[in-house]
């Protein structure tokens, strides 16, 4: 599916093709173009506010030195989006350090007076040390650092302050992962992405577009329990917990990457076209998830419908691709489809439906399609 000049109101119209895995890369490009335009507008507003407050002249001067690529990296970083879109954007130190770090990336001879991280958490520059061939992918506070990458450009972050910070979804303490566990996690993710590519090229297009950074964390209290999460205030940030564990195979890692990337894609669209009419009301009313049995806010339930629809189509394609063990594919396919057939699904959908924004009415058709699929 290709939609030249896609208007904001038409973003949700691309969702069925995206989740059936037949959308072109251009569709994803246009979705994220709108997201970047919004971030650019908010960035301009934040700069103006800092300058008017007589604290932003240095930031404005440094920002003028950024290349187009450096500015886009800064703006599309989930940590930047959190501040610009869910602000107020008053964290001057973050913006100053992030701009300085991007300038160091662009100029290997540039040095900083204080240690800085890029907003993506993919590069670190210590005091007075320029980036050179000595940059390492092994974390050392005294040396320039570059994170390993997936899909050529997606950093894997397990050491930056952004990866280490606790969130509402991660309550356990940060622990440093041994180098061998980091390598094991990355090998597994590479295998998962290679297999996804064998199954479906458009799924890789979606992952490339919707993933800004992959966070990997180790849960010291439950080191073999795998989980994943994302958040609408950190669009493009996919977090995996215990992916290094033997309990997580390449199929489960692939399932999690696609799961969270779908959330990310929908979150980006929602910045322009809200999924529900009244977000507060949709957060206050809950339904029982047909997949997990947990009480979910209505907004989260609609996200679940989209995610499980996309996963059911992906794993159906995987049945014939031979990229993953067939038994694992059947199990993951069954898991994705099961909720649509649970007796409580009708109750949940009926309760939730009056909250749905008219622009997102495509969800009704996707749900009907999913319920026609056999378990």
* C-alpha torsion sign, points 366, 207, 240, 192: positive
What whole-number distance in Å separates Cα of residue 372 and Cα of residue 63? 53
Which of these three, 233, 258, 273, is where a domain ends?
273
Q: How many CB atoms lie under 10 A from the CB of residue 47?
A: 16
> How many domains does the chain fold into?
2
What whole-number distance in Å separates Cα of residue 224 and Cα of residue 227? 10
Task: Verify that 196 and 326 share a domain, yes or no.
Answer: no
Which of these three, 273, 289, 320, is where a domain ends?
273
Q: Has residue 2 been placed in a domain?
A: no
pLDDT at residue 7, rounded to an integer: 79
Task: Verify that 190 and 311 share a domain, yes or no.
Answer: no
pLDDT at residue 2, rounded to an integer: 40
Nearest Cα residue to 119 out of 63, 172, 171, 169: 63
123 φ/ψ angles, rounded to the nearest 5 degrees: -150, 145
Task: Verify that 190 and 290 share a domain, yes or no.
Answer: no
**DSSP letter for each residue of 240-260:** EESTTSTT--HHHHHHHHHHH
What whole-number distance in Å separates Cα of residue 182 and Cα of residue 179? 5
Task: Verify that 34 and 74 share a domain, yes or no.
Answer: yes
**Whole domain around residue 296: which residue ranges?**
274-375
Task: Verify that 280 and 185 share a domain, yes or no.
Answer: no
Give yes or no for a contact between 35 and 219, defined as CB atoms under 8 angstroms apart.
no
Total-model pTM:
0.95
Task: Verify that 176 and 142 share a domain, yes or no.
Answer: yes
Nearest Cα residue to 349 out of 375, 370, 374: 370
Q: Has residue 20 been placed in a domain?
A: yes
pLDDT at residue 354, rounded to an integer: 96
What whole-number distance in Å separates Cα of residue 182 and Cα of residue 59? 35
Which of these three, 252, 273, 294, is where a domain ends?
273
In sequence order, what are the beta bridge partners of 172? none
Q: Has residue 152 been placed in a domain?
A: yes
Task: Verify that 265 and 296 share a domain, yes or no.
Answer: no
Task: Verify that 175 and 45 share a domain, yes or no.
Answer: yes
pLDDT at residue 5, rounded to an integer: 64
Q: Has residue 153 been placed in a domain?
A: yes
**DSSP letter for each residue of 27-70:** HHHHHHHHHHHHHHHHHHHHHHHHHHTTS-HHHHHHHTT--HHH
Q: Has residue 157 been placed in a domain?
A: yes
pLDDT at residue 173, rounded to an integer: 85
What whole-number distance in Å separates Cα of residue 74 and Cα of residue 99? 7
Give yes or no for a contact between 229 and 262, defined as CB atoms under 8 angstroms apart.
no
Q: For the chain, list the strands marked E by DSSP.
A: 116-117, 123-125, 145-146, 149-150, 154-157, 213-217, 227-229, 237-241, 286-288, 295-297
Task: Verify that 245 and 283 share a domain, yes or no.
Answer: no
Helix (H/G/I), strand (E/B), else coil: 286: strand
**How do residues 301-355 score in pLDDT, each as one tens digit?**
999 999 999 999 999 999 999 999 999 999 999 999 999 999 999 999 999 999 9
Task: Verify that 135 and 176 share a domain, yes or no.
Answer: yes
Q: How many CB atoms lie under 10 A from the CB of residue 150?
A: 19
Q: Has residue 143 been placed in a domain?
A: yes
Task: Verify that 265 and 187 share a domain, yes or no.
Answer: yes
The stretches in the chain having pLDDT less than 70 are 1-5, 131-137, 166-171, 375
């Amino acid at each position: 599916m290709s939609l030249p000049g896609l208007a904001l109101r038409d973003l949700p119209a691309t969702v069925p093709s995206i989740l059936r895995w037949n959308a072109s890369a251009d569709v994803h490009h246009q979705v994220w173009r709108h997201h970047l335009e919004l971030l650019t507008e908010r960035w301009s507003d934040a700069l103006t506010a800092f300058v008017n407050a007589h604290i932003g002249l240095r930031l404005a001067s440094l920002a003028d030195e950024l290349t187009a690529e450096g500015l886009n990296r800064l703006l599309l970083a989930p940590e930047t989006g959190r501040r610009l879109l869910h602000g107020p954007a008053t964290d001057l130190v973050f913006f100053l350090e992030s701009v300085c770090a991007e300038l160091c990336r662009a100029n290997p001879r540039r040095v900083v007076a204080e240690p800085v991280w890029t907003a993506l958490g993919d590069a670190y520059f210590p005091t007075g040390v320029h980036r050179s061939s000595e940059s390492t992918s092994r974390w050392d506070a005294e040396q320039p650092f570059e994170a390993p990458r997936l899909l050529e450009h997606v950093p894997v972050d397990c050491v930056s302050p952004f990866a280490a910070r606790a969130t509402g979804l991660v309550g356990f303490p940060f622990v440093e992962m041994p180098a061998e566990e980091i390598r094991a996690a990355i090998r597994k993710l590479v295998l998962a992405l290679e297999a996804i590519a064998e199954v479906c090229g458009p799924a890789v297009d979606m992952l490339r577009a919707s993933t800004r950074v992959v966070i990997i964390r180790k849960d010291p209290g439950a080191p073999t329990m795998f989980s994943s999460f994302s958040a609408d205030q950190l669009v493009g940030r996919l977090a995996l917990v215990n992916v290094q564990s033997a309990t997580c195979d390449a199929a489960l890692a692939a399932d999690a990457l696609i799961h969270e990337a779908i959330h990310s894609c929908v979150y980006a669209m929602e910045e322009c076209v809200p999924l529900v009419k009244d977000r507060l009301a949709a957060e206050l009313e809950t339904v029982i998830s047909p997949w997990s049995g947990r009480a979910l806010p209505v907004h989260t339930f609609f996200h679940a419908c989209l995610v499980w629809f996309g996963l059911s189509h992906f794993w159906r394609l995987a049945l014939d691709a031979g990229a993953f063990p067939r038994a694992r594919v059947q199990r993951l396919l069954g898991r994705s489809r099961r909720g649509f057939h649970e007796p409580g699904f009708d109750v949940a959908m009926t309760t939730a439906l009056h909250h749905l924004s008219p622009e997102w009415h495509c969800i009704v058709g996707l749900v009907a399609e999913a319920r026609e699929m056999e378990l």
